[in-house]
Amino acid sequence: MKKILIIFFTLSLAFAGEGLPVLTLPSIAQNGYMPSSPVKAENGITFSYANWYLATDYSAISVKFNGYDIGFKGLMSSDIEIRGEVPTDMPVGTTSYYNTALYIGKNWELNDKWSVNARANLLNERLYVATSWGGSLDAEVARTINVMGRVMVGVENLGWMSPLATVGTKVPTRYYLGGDLIFNFFIVSIKGGINPDVDPFLSWGIRYFHPLFEISYSHDSLQRVHHIGADIKWKNFRIGYGQYFHQDGLGSPMMFSISIFPSI
């Protein structure tokens, strides 16, 4: 049991976050931590992959169709050394950490002013010989002010995990207000609020749109990560790239995405 707790503490430091890591990682490389976008999502499928901090493999797949968003996110950290209470030169063994999320979401356009977004996540976590299950919900209400902007209020990752051994992983819940603004070929999006520990956060980003490509920058204060992203559009395909820089020097992982938009 103490071995599990030691490994768990090490992973908490490695992901430097608010809790369950798979819920805080970006789904699409070029989007990064961009809070939201007023642009309607195209029907299509997106595959993403990143080699995250400490040689952690992370992948995601999402399918968007007529307002629905269905997907899977998963990460795996392998070759984690297991050490006991007594310091030794060699570990007593190795293990792996797995964290996954299977989700389904829906966007409802109530009228030309109001819209509602909701998503449900089925969560799983496995470390050493311990397994944990849980779930979380996201919900957001947005109001369009004019053709240039909108405001929103919402909650993300409101949920619970069963104990992993004897300790339950914290779910990274956030309560927020936000908004976005369109001018010329730019979108600026910002979201701020608090988590259950009443820690304030600010997440924001800016994106430039072009018929052939997009360029974006985003930052999340609680994750302490800066992001630069870009994508290239070609026929029914979009290839995306994201570079992430951690403020505390944990690393600068790269992420890649490819999207396919069928002509239907």
pTM score of the predicted model: 0.84
pLDDT of residue 6: 42
Q: Is the pLDDT of residue 10 over 50?
A: no
Residue percentage of the chain with pLDDT more than 70: 86
Q: Which residues of 64-78 are buried (b: 16+ CB within 10 A; e: fewer)?
A: beeeebbbebbbbbe
pLDDT tens column, 176-226: 999 999 888 999 999 999 999 999 999 999 999 898 999 999 999 998 999
Helix (H) or strand (E) holding 211: none
CATH code for position 43: 2.40.160
What is the predicted pLDDT for the residue at 9?
43
Q: State the pLDDT confidence band at 2, using cuts at 50, 70 and 90.
A: very low
- Residue 104 domain boundaries: 2-260
Q: How far is CA 243 from each of CA 4, 7, 52, 177, 218, rounded to the nearest angstrom? A: 32, 28, 11, 27, 11
pLDDT at 116: 96
Tally of domains in the chain: 1
- Give every CB contact of residue 90 below 8 A, 6+ residues apart in sequence: none
80-96: average pLDDT: 63
Q: Are 251 and 53 spatial neighbours (Cβ–Cβ below 8 Å)?
A: yes
Q: Of 148, 200, 209, 153, which Cα lies nearest the Cα of 178?
A: 153
Residue 8: what pLDDT?
Answer: 47
Secondary-structure breakdown of the chain: helix, strand, coil percentages, each rounded to the nearest 5: 10, 60, 30
Q: Residue 165: what pLDDT?
A: 73
**Given this model, what pLDDT does residue 252 score?**
87
